Amino acid sequence: MPLLEIEHLTAGYGEAVVLDDMSLAVDEGECLAVLGRNGVGKTTLMLAVMAHARRFGGALRFAGEDIVRLPANERVRRGLGWVPQERDIFPSLTVEENLLVAHRRGGRFDLAAIYRLFPRLRERRRNGGDRLSGGEQQMLAIGRTLMTDPRLLLLDEPFEGLAPVIVDELEDTLKRLRSEFGFAVVLVEQRAEDVLRLSDRAIVLDRGRIVLQGASAALLADFGKVHEWIAV
């Protein structure tokens, strides 16, 4: 049984439809890449899964449970973890306070586990959220989401604007989360070739629909087809 199942999902904002009749599934431990130009519905897909976009129709199931009527906080309790593109760090809180505010007792991650995963955060633990580099903020955003004890991570543009050395570090962290903890991941990214190397499968969106999908290795080997849909 897939961990996340989406069937014939139509979603958007107000009266505007952004996603049109979308169906996909994500298995336990799988990494699915979501590619496409700006404005084609990638972030809306994330928001719809997290109950932050309007659902016009379609089914959403997580671990076999119908979640369409659950609010965002209940979806988090079920094991959905969302890291938004904006990161949403609390600037007036320290790194440690940002982590503790999301801590779920009995989960797999506590402060010590996050600091092992991101040693930079231990070094900056007394710093305010507004006194971090972009890369450190992204580490904190991921770490805070891990404190909610998710089973599936939804990552929206996690590498945007970051130096290559930080991107490499974050990619290694995602590999570790999957190999050591069995996380499933849905990864929205503009760096198509990099994310195809990181993921198992990929979908390409255009105008709210899936126009191309397949194993990441196969799409990377025939990258011209992908490039046709993502080139600006």
Measured CA to CA in angstroms, residue 160 lies from 25, 29, 60, 142, 191 at distances of 25, 24, 28, 14, 9
Does the pLDDT at position 232 exceed 80? no
Mean pLDDT of the 180-205 span: 95
DSSP 8-state assignment for residue 85: T
Q: What does the pLDDT read at residue 106?
A: 83
Q: What does the pLDDT read at residue 107?
A: 86
Domain covering 4-79+151-230: architecture: 3-Layer(aba) Sandwich (3.40)
The 10 Å Cβ neighbour count of residue 116 is 11
In the 3-class helix/strand/coil scheme, how is 136-161 assigned residue by residue? HHHHHHHHHHHCCCCCEEEEECCCCC
Q: Of 98, 197, 83, which is closest to residue 145 (Cα–Cα)?
A: 83
Alpha-carbon span 149 to 142, nearest angstrom: 11
Render pLDDT for 107-164 as a digit per residue (tens, 0 to 9).
899 999 999 999 999 999 999 998 999 999 999 999 999 999 999 999 999 999 999 9
Place of tokens 């990377």: 220
**Domains of the chain, residue spans:** 4-79+151-230, 87-149
Q: What does the pLDDT read at residue 182?
A: 94
Q: What does the pLDDT read at residue 104?
A: 87
Q: What does the pLDDT read at residue 231?
A: 87
Render pLDDT for 28-80 as a digit per residue (tens, 0 to 9).
999 999 999 999 999 999 999 999 999 999 999 999 999 999 999 999 999 99
Does the pLDDT at position 169 exceed 80? yes
Are the C-beta atoms of residues 198 and 171 closer than 8 Å to each other? yes
Render pLDDT for 86-118 as a digit per residue (tens, 0 to 9).
998 999 999 999 999 999 888 899 999 999 999
